[in-house]
């Protein structure tokens, strides 16, 4: 035990009951968190990161979970040497928020949708401090200013659904620091956020740590994210700590194959690989095999072939605007918001066109307009020479077979009440593909196998699969109607880096085997650079840059693209 230790976790084990058996999900976990230190806990989903944090907070749901053994020693103020696992419920409730606080992964599900953001933070302040409602509101306003929320007085009165992802996360941070805790647990606080918003949140946490003298336990699946942010890191796999040490040592001299695998799964920015290394292959072979690079000559040859054809999709000065209510009762003019403004570009058969930009830049609106899911306000959208914005619903139904989309959240894309086999079969039935249900079932099983799933998965339901498996199911469903063009809308942004590598490799293999064309939308520029032949950069509804992906990365022309590049977290080696 070090005299500077603020929190000491000793031999902690947590189990959950499933199918009549107890499964250990955190296995003899031990570590120390020092005063004013940032300790990162890194690993895939299911590695035990969040369960360890919840055990520290005494938030393990019991049943089905239980703390099997161990101790969590807090050394601060009146809790010097106190084992949190031995406290009664009343004692631990007094400690939560005041001594140890937690920022949860998904702010939308952590915030109560029926209360304003102000009320949610005011209630917490009044529980822990003897404040009047007015005093608590003034304190909440100070906190919103401290976390750099824009228009803090308005956000006090706003509901969570009225805020962006980054704003909701700042509200969660304000709630977490409201009682001035000594320890802040941040559980994946930047997952699925834009790189620029992610960078701002990390900078905010570091500033708050310095001003409030906090220690931070930072949980993430992305090793690259903690470079330059954390002091030390623990790497967890299957409930166990497999490696730990100062961050710079883990990055430059990783010892465990699992750690090396997590680092290798991220798409490198300094070269273009044929396939990304996958964690499974690295751990099994205990080495990182050098994947073949795509040479400049191979790229030029492939691009000559792609761009010698007629484009499959053409945007001609396409705009999408929304009318906003005017300011007064008698005001006739409505304000207009341009979600897309005079977008012009082509997509060629066999190409992957990447689209990057922050939330609100118009990426998803572009996808929906391209599929005619929402009408364009101006311009023409030509699919194989036909302006699809002018066709009848019956004609559009034929085009829908050729134009498919894979959404960001596979769980909400699948009906929880029907089996995955039926979910993949239904589009085939709608478009009259294959002779009968038996033929369609045979095709579904073939597609499941093609995306790395098993025939018996046909009868299972979405909740029985992991996030990566559910995304594979959505890919199989998109392929079921034999499309020509697929839009991938943030389809890997919420996945672990190891699962992300598998899905990206799968998408590239399917593109080659089925002759597909992709529009690949993401806020992660490193992923887009790996996937895309050309890249579009969007800001506030405008295309600010378009060009060959490697060139846009190496020689960005717009200041906004430069800002996106600077915000990419990761290793120096990947940024050369």
- Are β-strands 215-220 and 38-42 bridged in parallel, bridged antiparallel, or unpaired? parallel
User: CA-to-CA distance for 172 and 190, rounded, in angstroms?
Assistant: 12
Average pLDDT over the chain, rounded to an integer: 87
The pLDDT, as a whole number, for residue 355 is: 96
Alpha-carbon distance of 209 to 212, in angstroms, equals: 5
The closest alpha carbon to 267, from 276, 259, 258, belongs to 276
Residue-wise pLDDT tens digits, 436-457:
999 999 999 999 999 989 999 9
Q: At what angle do helices 165-177 and 195-212 cross, to 10 degrees?
A: 10
Euclidean distance between CA atoms 347 and 310, whole angstroms: 9
pLDDT at 546: 96
Instruction: Give the CA radius of gyration of the chain.
Output: 25
Q: Which of 436, 40, 440 has the alpha carbon at shortest distance from 202?
A: 40
Contacts of 239 (CB under 8 A, 6+ apart): 24, 25, 26, 27, 29, 47, 48, 51
Map tokens 């009951």 to a residue.
17
Q: What is the H or E stretch that residue 346 is in? A: strand 335-347
C-alpha span between 534 and 348 (Å, rounded): 10
d(CA 302, CA 417): 44
Query: Residue 459: helix, strand or coil by DSSP?
Result: helix
Q: Which residues pair with 318 in a beta bridge?
A: 343
CA gap 339, 359 in Å, rounded: 11
| Ranges of each domain in the chain | 100-180, 296-575
How far is the C-alpha of 362 from the C-alpha of 340, rounded, in Å?
A: 6
Residue 319's DSSP bridge partners are: 378
Fold of 296-575: Rossmann fold (3.40.50)
41-57 burial: b if 16+ Cβ within 10 Å, else e: bbbbbebbbbbbbbbbb
pLDDT on residue 384: 94
For the entire predicted model, the pTM comes to 0.83
Contacts 24+ apart (CB under 8 A), 299-305: 299/272, 299/550, 302/533, 303/533, 303/548, 305/350
DSSP state of 291: P
At residue 416, what are phi and psi to the nearest 5 degrees? -65, -15
For 31-88, what is the HEC assignment?
A: EEEECCCEEEEECCCCCCHHHHHHHHCCCCCCCCEEEEEEEEEECCHHHCCEEHHHCC
Q: Which residues of the chain, if any, have pLDDT below 50?
A: 1, 329-330, 571-576
Side by side, which strands form the sheet with 378-383?
335-347, 313-324, 378-383, 386-387
- Residue 335's Cβ-side half-sphere holds a number of Cα atoms within 13 Å equal to 7
Cβ-contact 168, 160 below 8 angstroms: yes
Helical H segments across 279-362, by residue range: 279-285, 296-307
- Following DSSP, what letter does each residue of 465-479 receive, concatenated? S-HHHHHHHHHHHHH
CB atoms within 10 A of CB 308: 8
Per-residue model confidence (pLDDT) at position 574: 42
What's 96's DSSP letter? B
């Amino acid at each position: 035990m070090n005299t500077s230790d603020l929190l000491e976790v000793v031999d902690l084990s947590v189990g959950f009951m499933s199918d009549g058996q107890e499964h250990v999900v955190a296995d003899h976990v031990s570590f120390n968190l020092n005063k004013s230190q940032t300790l990162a806990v890194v690993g895939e989903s299911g590695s035990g990161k969040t369960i360890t944090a919840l055990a520290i907070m005494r938030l393990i749901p019991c049943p089905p979970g239980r703390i099997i053994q161990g101790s969590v020693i807090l050394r601060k103020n009146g809790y010097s040497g106190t084992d949190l696992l031995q406290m009664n419920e009343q004692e631990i409730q007094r400690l939560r928020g005041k001594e140890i606080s937690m920022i949860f992964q998904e702010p939308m599900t952590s915030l109560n949708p029926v209360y304003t953001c102000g009320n949610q933070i005011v209630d917490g302040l009044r529980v822990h401090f003897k404040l009047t409602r007015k005093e608590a509101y003034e304190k909440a306003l100070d906190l919103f200013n401290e976390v750099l929320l824009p228009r803090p007085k308005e956000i006090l009165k706003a509901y969570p659904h009225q805020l962006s992802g980054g704003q909701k996360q700042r509200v969660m941070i304000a709630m977490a620091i409201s009682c001035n805790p000594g320890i802040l647990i941040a559980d994946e606080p930047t997952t699925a956020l834009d790189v620029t918003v992610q960078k701002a949140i990390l900078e905010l946490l570091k500033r708050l740590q310095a001003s409030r003298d906090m220690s931070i336990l930072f949980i993430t699946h992305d090793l690259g994210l903690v470079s330059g942010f954390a002091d030390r890191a623990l790497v967890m796999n299957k409930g166990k700590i497999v490696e730990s040490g100062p961050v710079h040592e883990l990055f430059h001299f990783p010892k465990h194959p699992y750690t090396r695998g997590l680092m290798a799964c991220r798409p490198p920015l300094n070269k273009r690989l044929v396939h990304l290394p996958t964690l499974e292959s690295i751990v099994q072979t205990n080495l990182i095999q050098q994947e073949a690079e795509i040479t400049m000559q191979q790229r030029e040859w492939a691009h000559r072939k792609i761009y010698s054809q007629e484009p499959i999709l053409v945007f001609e000065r396409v705009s999408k605007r929304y009318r906003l209510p005017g300011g007064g009762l008698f005001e006739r003019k409505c304000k207009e918001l341009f979600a897309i403004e005079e977008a012009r570009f082509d997509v060629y058969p066999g190409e992957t066109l990447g689209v990057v930009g922050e939330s609100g830049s118009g990426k998803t609106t572009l996808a929906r307009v391209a599929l005619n899911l929402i009408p364009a306000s101006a311009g023409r959208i030509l699919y194989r020479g036909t302006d699809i914005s002018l066709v009848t619903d019956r004609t559009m139904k034929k085009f829908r077979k050729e134009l498919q989309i894979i959404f960001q959240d596979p769980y909400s894309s699948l009906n929880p009440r029907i089996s995955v086999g039926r979910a993949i079969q239904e589009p085939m039935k709608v478009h009259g593909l294959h002779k009968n249900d038996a033929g369609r079932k045979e095709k579904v099983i073939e597609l499941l196998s093609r995306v790395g799933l098993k025939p018996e998965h046909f009868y299972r339901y979405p909740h029985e699969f992991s996030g990566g498996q559910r995304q594979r199911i959505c890919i199989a469903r998109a392929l079921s109607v034999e499309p020509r063009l697929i839009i991938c809308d943030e389809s890997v942004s919420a996945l672990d880096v190891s699962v992300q590598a598998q899905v990206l490799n799968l998408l590239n293999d399917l593109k080659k085997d089925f002759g597909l064309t992709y529009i690949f939308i993401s806020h992660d520029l490193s992923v887009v650079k790996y996937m895309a032949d050309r890249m579009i950069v969007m800001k506030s509804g405008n295309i600010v840059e378009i060009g060959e992906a490697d060139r846009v990365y190496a020689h960005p022309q717009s200041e906004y693209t430069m800002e996106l590049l600077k915000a990419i977290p990761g290793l120096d080696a990947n940024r050369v």
